Chains A and B, each alone.
Chain A
Amino acid sequence: MVDRIALVDYLVLDDEPHLVAHECEQCSARYFDRRNACAACDNTTFRSVDIPREGTLYTFSIVAVAPPGVPVPFVAAIVDCGGTRVRGNLVNIDPDPEQVRLGMRVRLTTVPLGADSAGVEAVGYGFEPA
């Protein structure tokens, strides 16, 4: 019986929640989504690799206008985790350009997203100041 489910299949929920990527077995290019072949080298075999849980803020935007149903403002971010770029919101920080600094250290954290009709809790992720 599953009582928790991850927002995306590349988020692993265990004692130390972390992200995993599909890594090309030939050229080591990394992807978070399912791929038919490697866009860099055409190889079709991949292995699973864990992504470091800490990284630096590579770039961001504070999104103030979004489609209906998306809470704003939120800090959209790209984080460099040991050389792999990861997309994810910056959380547990004021959505204020004075607070969010490029190059700042951040770490992965989980974000509760609520339960479905069967009581299964959904869990997302974000990055918070380290």
Chain B
Amino acid sequence: MAEDVWILGISMTKFGKHPGRDHVDLASEAALAALADAGVGIRDIGVLAAGSLTAGSSSFGQQIQKQIGQTGIPVYNVANACATGATALRVALLEIKAGEADLGLAVGVEMLSGAGLLGAPPRQDKGGAWTPTGRFGAITPLEGRVGTDSMPGVFAQIGLEYGHRYGGADFELFARIAEKNHAHSTLNPLAAYQKRFTVEQIMNDVMIAYPNTRPMCSANCDGAAAVVVVSDRRLRTLSPEQRRRAVKISASVLTSDPWQEACQVLPDVNTLTRQAAARAYEQAGIGPEELDLVELHDCFATAELVHYDNLMLCEQGGAVDFFNSGATWRDGRTPVNVSGGLESKGHPIAATGIANIWEICQHLRTEAGDRQIEGARVGLAHVIGLGSACGVHVLEKAAS
């Protein structure tokens, strides 16, 4: 096994609305803050990986360099749906494991305020004759005519499928998952929304795609996150304070969809997540029962339920009982999304993977302030992008 890689510095911007600023501004702010947190400068960095799905440039990383330092290092521009940030981190990590760099910087940013619905193209009915096009030979866009590709509807179906298979998951249960995350967000000053809702408020809010109402959907917002990773060898040469605050990356796993009959018509977010989790636990030598906290990809309340099961936080089919036991509240056995999750912290797509890791690092470094999970030593961060990529990282507090 190649040498260990550590997180030396990490940052996220406030998530929310950033009018008057652009992708480069936010990415630069996050990158400079991560370097400062690491106690190193851009001239120490040997590789840069940058991700953004909305920056509109295939050389976005180089644009960031123009603001924070053009040092001639290799730059990777990364895109992998909602797993883009986690993928960027892995690119930097792999360069270190390959021995090509000792320090790497990964950045993810998105500007999504007011972006509306993601995942479904607008309908474009053209005049003239019906003409079959594309791989289905369709004569008109299929959204709304043959089911849905929109994310709220897709994840609603995924949640109801789980509920139907194992029982116990109704509209109110999904609303109570959102209630938990919004309650947690009140302690996170960087969250886009810090408002507590009652279950009734959540159930009576605007319906987006049953059973997901608006507060049960991830919040489109602007934000960036960045991380500095370091080789074990280089870390040993750094100051005691840098070593004390370093967070060990005990597992870093990326998976894609293995073939499943069902995933041909409805994305299967379960199999690839379960495989990523299994590999991560094996790599880290840590079981799910040892996790002190989890940040998982609650793009919708219905998604959070299935991922309790996929990440093996409970026995297979046991996600409803697991949630009902109170385990995933911040005072429970396995606190989940104490940041507020994507539903309230926000979901600036390419930043999300790194931001989830940032949250875990805050707790492992005992720097999470009012929302600190006492005594946290190990945590898991998960992201999923359709369709389909899944990133899982297991993180551990430094031994000393």
Which range contains the number of B residues in contact with the other chain?
35 or more
User: Which A16-68 residues have C-beta < 8 A from chain B?
Assistant: 29-34, 39-40, 58-68
Given contacts A9-B132, A59-B160, A85-B261, contact A76 B147 (CB under 8 A): yes
Q: Are A97 and B171 in contact (CB under 8 A)?
A: yes
Given contacts A58-B164, A60-B157, A124-B145, 13 further A-B contacts (CB under 8 A): A6-B139, A8-B139, A34-B136, A59-B160, A62-B207, A65-B206, A66-B120, A67-B117, A78-B266, A86-B265, A89-B146, A102-B163, A120-B129
Neighbouring B residues of A59 by C-beta, 8 Å = 157-158, 160-161, 164, 266
User: Which B112-134 residues have C-beta < 8 A from chain A?
Assistant: 117, 120-123, 125, 127-130, 132
B104 shortest CB reach to chain A, Å: 34
- State whether the Cβ of B138 lies closer than 8 Å to any Cβ in chain A: yes
Distance A109 CA – B139 CA, assembled complex (angstroms): 18
Distance A68 CA – B117 CA, assembled complex (angstroms): 10
A86 shortest CB reach to chain B, Å: 6
A120 shortest CB reach to chain B, Å: 6
Q: C-beta contact mask, B203-234 vs A, less than 8 Å → 1, else 0?
A: 00011111110000000000000000000000
Given contacts A61-B209, A63-B152, A116-B128, contact A88 B146 (CB under 8 A): yes
Partner of A7, one of B145, B160, B206: B145
Neighbouring B residues of A40 by C-beta, 8 Å = 259
- For the complex of A and B, the 10 pairs showing the least CB-CB separation, nearest first, are A9-B137, A61-B156, A70-B144, A69-B123, A62-B210, A33-B135, A59-B161, A76-B148, A76-B147, A102-B164
Q: Are B120 and A85 in contact (CB under 8 A)?
A: no
Distance A58 CA – B262 CA, assembled complex (angstroms): 11
- Which B residues are closer than 8 A to A by beta carbons? 117, 120-123, 125, 127-130, 132, 135-140, 142-148, 150, 152-154, 156-158, 160-161, 163-164, 171, 206-212, 259, 261-262, 264-266
Given contacts A70-B144, A85-B266, A120-B130, contact A63 B209 (CB under 8 A): yes
Closest to A95 in B: B210
Q: Are A85 and B262 in contact (CB under 8 A)?
A: yes
Which range contains the number of A residues in contact with the other chain?
35 or more
Q: Are A61 and B160 in contact (CB under 8 A)?
A: yes
Closest to A69 in B: B123
Neighbouring A residues of B207 by C-beta, 8 Å = 62, 64-65
Partner of B266, one of A72, A87, A125: A87
Q: Are A29 and B261 in contact (CB under 8 A)?
A: yes
- State whether the Cβ of A77 lies closer than 8 Å to any Cβ in chain B: yes
B388 shortest CB reach to chain A, Å: 13
Distance A117 CA – B150 CA, assembled complex (angstroms): 30
